């Protein structure tokens, strides 16, 4: 079996999960975090959804930047100036730019 796809979400604990409002339309594809619109709740909902679909083939990590920025995140910021929250797949920042299930699944499927 291949190594699992590693998803890292980086952002601030009390930040929104997206630049878009959290609405009943659920364009992000997640419902367990509605109506909070918060990064930590969205991460938990994303982790649950991805674990249900991919099991151990995908691992998730939440990196909160409130108490400092890890060196690997600093490098990404210096090179790419990404929006927060960042979605990092196998160490590579992606253009997803928000916690959105379908968009993150597309990034996973590129690797699997």
Our count of domains for the chain comes to: 1
Residue 63's contacts (CB-CB under 8 Å, 6 or more residues apart) are: 8, 9, 10, 11, 70, 73
Please answer whether residues 90 and 40 qualify as being in contact, where contact means their C-beta atoms are separated by less than 8 angstroms: no
Give per-residue pLDDT as tens, 11-62. 999 998 887 788 777 788 898 888 888 999 999 999 999 999 999 999 999 9
CATH number of the domain at 75, please. Answer: 3.40.30.30
Domain that holds residue 37: 5-111
Give per-residue pLDDT as tens, 81-103. 998 999 999 999 998 878 999 99
Q: What angle do CA 41, 110, 94 make, to 5 degrees?
A: 50
Three-state secondary structure call for residue 44: helix
- C-alpha to C-alpha distance for 18 and 11, rounded to whole angstroms: 11
């Amino acid at each position: 079996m291949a190594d699992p796809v590693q998803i890292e979400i980086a952002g601030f604990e009390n930040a929104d999960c997206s630049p878009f409002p959290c609405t009943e339309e659920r364009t992000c594809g997640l419902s367990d975090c509605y109506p909070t619109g918060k990064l930590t709740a969205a991460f938990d909902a994303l982790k649950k959804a991805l674990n249900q679909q991919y099991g151990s083939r995908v691992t998730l990590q939440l990196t909160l930047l409130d108490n400092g920025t890890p060196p690997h995140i600093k490098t990404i910021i210096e090179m790419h100036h990404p929006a927060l929250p960042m979605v990092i797949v196998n160490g590579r920042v992606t253009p997803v730019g928000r916690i959105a299930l379908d968009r993150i699944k597309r990034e996973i499927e590129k690797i699997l």
